[in-house]
Structure 1
């Protein structure tokens, strides 16, 4: 079953093409009618780890704040990040670690709403390899799937291997496996032995018997066991210049997203799924509800960044990101996130 339907793909492609014709993100975001207009790229809009963005839109929380939000999608966070840097969009819903990575390249980005304190990622293994790959210690000689080279799943996979003395490129091979049906096909066809992905792909693999859970970072306990601490991931991040020039707009986005996080924490997976576009569930509504239920505990309820978690992200990147390696001490961590807007939203 493919939970990402052709309709979703067509709509996403149309949105991305439309963004190319839009004006630069550094221009004024107010429309002629006075309503604020913001374009946000999501690193996989149908991934449950980024669910708050679409859910806020579905619940009407953005419009309630007087802001029109256009949501587009790229299947890898590194691609979404490029859309922000090029000025095609004003914000990205993606992994927080990109703000650190890009600071070392002279770019100032900051997380304005931290949606989750853990990655929500799961290392899946094919049934054929489950008997011999029982932990990251067994990665040696294996082909491991990541969303894209240079992506957050790339860095996390390298970190997991390093904990057992294994090095990417030497001891194991990372393969770009994408997400959704592309990832499923890669695992099923033996192009990868194991790989990192998220719900609803995880739920699809488990229910179909095409994959088994090896490492689960959808919970704080699982994340701490795998990564030695919290790893703040899903967030809304924007350029520092945009945030400083459009604080009222950013505050509206924060208000909407914090309200959405509270909705998630107080509703079941089935109740949340009922608010999402019907095509996100594909042809298995129950499985989609389960995937949300299995993952929703990853989201925090206030949008705040845990400072110790941010430090742990820097520690991981300093070992495996080509941009951050050797520059850990020069990273100004406090400039990669702010709680100014979520503090006000909670107040």
Structure 2
């Protein structure tokens, strides 16, 4: 058959349909077997508090829910700046997030990690009460850190003025606090497991079990921008599903939890790992909703002038966690 350049053969339409079907089938196949969505997150401390997060990452729980998480250790202040600069999607800050929000940034906590202070105050043996610290030196990690806030709360409860009645010495980390106790440059310090074990082995005593006091505070929590939560709710939901399952595994499997904690904290000391697990397992909640009281504590210590009139609810969005709880997702996890 001779065709001019404007004539289409009858089978051309059928071929177009077939090719279109193949392309659509390929697209659907790619969707079914597609790459997991990407999400960038951090953990802000080498602490057993993050064991459920580490378990979710190492045991493929995020991948199970269609998410690939690029998880890195980044300190809170740096991570908050990365979040605001859009080079991080989810972070776990403390007071830095409140200060950013009070300055106009649209940031929000959307899940707790620890809604109360999980620390101890260790001291020289001769110190019997917090009141005995008058005229002495108390070691914490950094200005504005959870250890700093916890120290100030305890001193104020004892009728002492931080910085006036008791000098607060800022040290780089908890191992440095124990080293300062040993050296004699401080009289007491705020620490958590496993450095609590090191302190006892060095002859110091637990002056206050701060965890038992149940002080509401964002010891650690997940946060993001309101824009990210609005634009990527499926990714945040998948992140929460993986994390919630990580909590379930951490609470149920002590040996696996200690193994993961050992990997990230770079220790195989059985006593350290047992101390760490025993300390934090009681604080991992099945549904870690962000507590308004915990956020209020951060507001109480905020330096921004707007903190006085701010409400904790401005910095909380529990909607996705509540949605997962209502759906029965958490109950099903614990029935497995």
TM-score class, shorter:
0.7 to 0.9
Larger Rg: 2
Q: Is it true that 1:328 corresponds to 2:308 in the alignment?
A: yes
Offset of 1:79 from its aligned partner? 4.0
Offset of 1:84 from its aligned partner? 2.5
Matches within 5 A, 1:67-146: 67-74=67-74, 76-95=75-94, 97-125=95-123, 129-132=124-127, 134-146=128-140
The alpha-carbon distance between structure 1 residues 323 and 136, as it changes in their structure 2 partners (threshold 3 A), is: farther
Superposed CA offset, 1:131-159 (max 9, x none): 12x33323322221222112222122112
Offset of 1:283 from its aligned partner? 4.0
Query: Contact 1:50 / 1:94 at 8 angstroms: preserved in 2?
Result: no
Offset of 1:40 from its aligned partner? 1.6
Equivalent position to 2:162, from 153, 160, 168: 168
RMSD: 2.4
The alpha-carbon distance between structure 1 residues 37 and 186, as it changes in their structure 2 partners (threshold 3 A), is: farther
Aligned to 2:316: 337
Offset of 1:81 from its aligned partner? 2.7
Equivalent position to 2:153, from 144, 148, 159: 159
Equivalent position to 1:289, from 262, 274, 293: 274
Aligned to 2:53: 53
d(CA) in 1 for partners of 2:137, 2:82: 29
The alpha-carbon distance between structure 1 residues 163 and 169, as it changes in their structure 2 partners (threshold 3 A), is: same
Offset of 1:327 from its aligned partner? 2.9
Query: Contact 2:262 / 2:268 at 8 angstroms: preserved in 1?
Result: no
Aligned to 1:233: 219
d(CA) in 1 for partners of 2:78, 2:207: 27
TM-score with structure 1 length normalisation? 0.76
Query: Contact 2:121 / 2:206 at 8 angstroms: preserved in 1?
Result: yes
TM-score with structure 2 length normalisation? 0.78
Q: Answer 1 or 2: which has greater helix percent.
A: 2
Residue aligned with 1:169, SS: coil
Superposed CA offset, 1:215-269 (max 9, x none): 2233xxx233xx4xx334321111222222211111111111111122223233x
Aligned to 2:16: none
Aligned to 2:285: 300
The runs of 5 or more residues in structure 2 that have no matched partner are 1-33, 328-336
Superposed CA offset, 1:261-312 (max 9, x none): 22223233x3411344536352413421332123210111112234xxx235
How many positions carry a matched residue from both structures? 293
The runs of 5 or more residues in structure 1 that have no matched partner are 1-32
Equivalent position to 2:196, from 193, 199, 202: 202
The alpha-carbon distance between structure 1 residues 244 and 261, as it changes in their structure 2 partners (threshold 3 A), is: same
Structure 1 stretches of 4+ moved >4 Å: none
Residue aligned with 1:233, SS: strand
Residue aligned with 2:248, SS: helix
Superposed CA offset, 1:7-54 (max 9, x none): xxxxxxxxxxxxxxxxxxxxxxxxxx642222222211x201222221
Offset of 1:161 from its aligned partner? 1.3
